[in-house]
Structure 1
């Protein structure tokens, strides 16, 4: 006696669930064939197969248009997960230590969503937690901290800000570029390709836009206030849009951050908002910034090979005309000067390849300026250790017996005061902290100053 394969009933699910053709004909025709199906790769010979066989026999068409197929999760050494071997971390412990979002995001960015196997280790979750969610959280803290200091409040509605500052124009273009990429891949059920660009955007937002924009947030009220407001609006807009992009893949943190920064007229949850749409991108700005960062990567490598720390100012960098561009907006040149910590940029015409040549010779004057930068860094660390707020003004004492360090402090006293928010810089008096700067002893003390 012949019998049907046991998967026959599962293959009939699209019809049985509607009791078709006996009723619900309109509902069935609206829903069939399904947009997608999601199951493990072992269903290739089971459910996927019988669904298609029965649909092809009855309607001469497939049962579904797309398949989201997951592979197998295996141990870090490639072995099958086993209770006997105890070669995996229990899921409840994973949730307690790393959170559901971290596990979900790790899976979404792994080959497992492409029907391939993925090796699982909590080390991978630790990386995702630090590099993705930690970075996003720190960006959120940065905006919240300065918003509290300045009394800045989010706009009632979410609208793309105007773009007068180069960094604003770039990050908004990057955002719109990522929106386009994520939307395209998600529409085509390519989950891994849809999520990875969000990771890159978070890194760009924190480690490039925020880092390059810090001074804009530091400015006191009335000091180029329009640019400061533009920085607030841009960071807020990009952060909220990023939460919208992350919502399907990290629903908890994205909603938490969204709720913190939503305007009064915005939906109560990120999961109630519409999917973001690209407002267009400036391809030239994106290309110029990519070239700039490539130049910086090469230049910083040259500094590292020469053993010259980034805080040490240098005289110049020479760029081939194909590496830099004399038609660049001056802001791109400013970025190169500041990031490579050079005084000037020279252009040559040597060839078609990108050429970068950092002059690593350190003159006595440059060395003293480098020492002043080291002093600023040490004072900033002392401010942090003393529990000061970012906008607290201080009285600062700096003493040393080293003649070169004394000269460096004297020559760059104004810069030291401005960078450390010191109302006064004293070179005599009692100090409490001592640090070593290239063999010279620097003695420091500071206290909060309530005067302005």
Structure 2
């Protein structure tokens, strides 16, 4: 009998605070109903390690698959090491990454990896009878472990699958919440309410504008599968803890949130203000993941800023995004998230370069407010030297060294980032934005095919607005009725019919329908469109 999916401090506390489920499990073991007691965890390895250190479980279940290696979060040095020391049986799970292996070329190397890990047995899931048969065949052949060359060749595939189909958002929001919990408690311990509120505000932005928005396809899935369950459960747990965190700041809204969410939980305090304030441990935070996602979100933000500069809406697909990172480490991180960047920026191809001068021109000028009081009349000579130097070279020196060193009238002058103003001017055919860590340049050329895709994104937005105005349930199916005044527009809509239906949850679309009198009238690039919806 197993305490399943122990993944946060609250669950740990509820289990260890007697009486708890452990008493019932011990009674069943004493009666001979069950032989052994175990515990499992999917996400937070240090919480799982803590409970197996403090309670003598017979067995522990934890992820052991190659996909954990792909997102740099394995249980070897924590849970597995502790379980071995305490003589517990170790059962490895997530061999196939909760079905992600179906996107791989073959299941064989993934099974071979797990078969040779330091566990006593494997729990192997399957998506079909054929996969079960293939798994048995591979295991029965007693295959050798992956050699270093095979691991090196396989990891890029596992990383790509993890980023496109994996649970990156689930892990990120969970670790971001733990980080926020630490930051808020630290700020409140210092009586710094403003800093605590800033941390909560930043987290809420990430929750709403990143996790929830990027999980919409999971929330809207027609089948209630594991992916949809994970998305909802993760959001539920996050909102519960966030209600507790924000209770001192927004007591009434936190109370309403808590009562709505905590009602089904047996033994939950009636009021959020009667619950223990959340706690977290630094070991629970995957800082590498958080920093990687922060860099990726920064790249997305710069790309969106570049679109605004050129007045190109996000719904209009573009052909190329060139990213010029300031360091090889930043490039290595961003390369792992290429598919995410392309999706967020609505770009066909994301590429990397180390030559920003191909896409932008730099102008570097002195900041007279900071330099004037310090250097006086020398500032004019500094301005002259900067104007005569290569803007691209100055920018590169600033990003690589964190400062500029100039020879001015026979003396060496060092300028910090605050001492200069770096302005960026995109070259013809591009729009761009930059930060200290990267430049993001987008091609502004829009082909006929790209323009058609932009029209499709616009009509999707209009249909979604109709759903919202009619207060249609987020997962309800609809029928779309429309009239289009342009043959080019109609051709584009019919060409992308499947994409439109899938996105707006439409069972069918009729473009020559008899429309009701209150049909919505809009235009897309000056071409008239009339739309209405029916709930199925």
TM-score of the two chains, using structure 2 as the length reference: 0.51
Please, which of 200, 209, 212 is the counterpart of residue 210 of structure 1? 212
Q: CA deviation at 1:443?
A: 2.2
Write out per-residue CA displacement over residues 109-163 of structure 1, whole angstroms, 9 at most, x where no aligned residue: xxxxxxxxxxxxxxxxxxxxxxxxxxxxxxxxxxxxxxxxxxxxxx9x9549844
Q: 2:344 aligns with which of 328, 334, 339?
A: 339
Deviates more, 1:427-436 or 1:401-410: 427-436
Extract unaligned runs of 5+ from structure 2: 1-6, 13-40, 44-165, 356-395, 401-436
2:453 corresponds to which of 361, 369, 385: 369
**1:317 counterpart (317, 321, 335):** 321
Q: Is the 8 A contact 1:371 1:437 kept in 2?
A: yes
Instruction: Please report how far the alpha carbon of residue 428 of structure 1 lies from its aligned counterpart in structure 2 after TM superposition.
Output: 1.6
Following superposition of structure 1 onto structure 2, how do residues 2-151 of structure 1 map, counting pairs within 5 Å?
Answer: none
The answer on 1:407 being equivalent to 2:491 is: yes
SS of residue in 1 equivalent to 2:278: coil
Contact 1:158-1:266 at 8 Å conserved across structures: no
2:297 to 293, 297, 300: 293
Deviation at 1:328, TM superposition (A): 5.1
Q: Is the 8 A contact 2:463 2:504 kept in 1?
A: yes
Classify the secondary structure of the residue corresponding to 1:355.
strand
For residues 201 and 306 of structure 2, what CA distance do their matches in structure 1 show?
Answer: 28
C-alpha deviations, 1:34-53, integer Å up to 9, x for none? xxxxxxxxxxxxxxxxxxxx
Unaligned runs of 5+ in 1: 1-154
Distance 1:302 1:240 in 2: 37
Looking at structure 2, the residues matched to 298 and 284 of structure 1 have their Cα atoms a distance apart, in angstroms, of 21
Shift of 1:291: 0.9
Q: 2:223 aligns with which of 203, 207, 221?
A: 221
Q: 1:193 to 1:306 in 2, by over 3 A?
A: closer
- Aligned mates of 1:194, 1:445 — CA distance in 2: 46
Partner of 1:173: 175
In the other structure, the counterpart of 1:230 is 230
Cα deviation per residue 1:175-204 (whole Å; 9 max; x = unaligned)? 111111111222233333233212222222
Counterparts of 1:389 and 1:221 in 2: how far apart (Å)? 16
In 2, Cα distance between equivalents of 1:447 and 1:252: 38
Residues 381-437 of structure 1 deviation map (CA, whole Å, 9 limit, x = unaligned): 222333422222222222223121011101111011111221112222212422111
TM-superposed CA distance for 1:217, in Å, is: 0.6
Q: CA deviation at 1:366?
A: 0.4
3-state SS, counterpart of residue 507 of structure 2: strand
Name the residue aligned to 2:185: 183
SS at match of 1:388: coil
**Among 437, 440, 445, which residue is 2:532 paired with?**
445
In the alignment, structure 1 residue 379 sits paired with structure 2 residue 479? no
Q: Distance in 2 between matches of 1:227 and 1:344?
A: 27
Closer, same or farther: CA 159–320 of 1 in aligned 2, 3 Å: farther
Taking the aligned partners of 1:382 and 1:255, their CA distance within structure 2 comes to 33
Kindly tell me: are residues 243 and 212 of structure 1, through their superposed partners in 2, closer, same or farther at Cα, counting changes over 3 Å? same
Q: Contact between 1:337 and 1:344, CA under 8 Å: does it hold in 2?
A: yes
User: Structure 1 residue 336: deviation in Å?
Assistant: 1.1
Alignment map for 1:384-399 (pairs within 5 Å): 384-399=468-483
Q: In 1, are the aligned partners of 2:173 and 2:211 still within 8 Å (CA)?
A: yes
Paired position in structure 1 for 2:441: 357
Please, what is the CA RMSD of the aligned residues? 2.3
Distance in 2, matches of 1:392 and 1:182, equals: 39
Matched residue pairs, number?
Answer: 291
Matched, 1:268 2:273: no
Note if contact 2:295-2:334 (Cα within 8 Å) is conserved in structure 1: no
Please say if residues 430 and 445 of structure 1, whose CA atoms lie closer than 8 Å, have aligned partners that are also in contact.
Answer: no
Asked if structure 2 preserves the Cα contact closer than 8 Å seen for 1:158 and 1:237, the reply is: no
Cα distance change of structure 1 residues 301 and 193 upon mapping to structure 2, 3 Å threshold? closer
Aligned to 1:277: 279
- CA-CA distance at 1:256 after TM superposition: 1.9
- Measured in 2, the distance between the counterparts of 1:372 and 1:274 equals 49
Q: Is the 8 A contact 1:174 1:281 kept in 2?
A: yes
Return the offset for 1:286.
1.1
* Aligned mates of 2:470, 2:236 — CA distance in 1: 30
- Displacement after TM superposition at 1:208 (Å): 2.0
* SS state at 1:325 partner: helix
> What's 1:48 paired with?
none
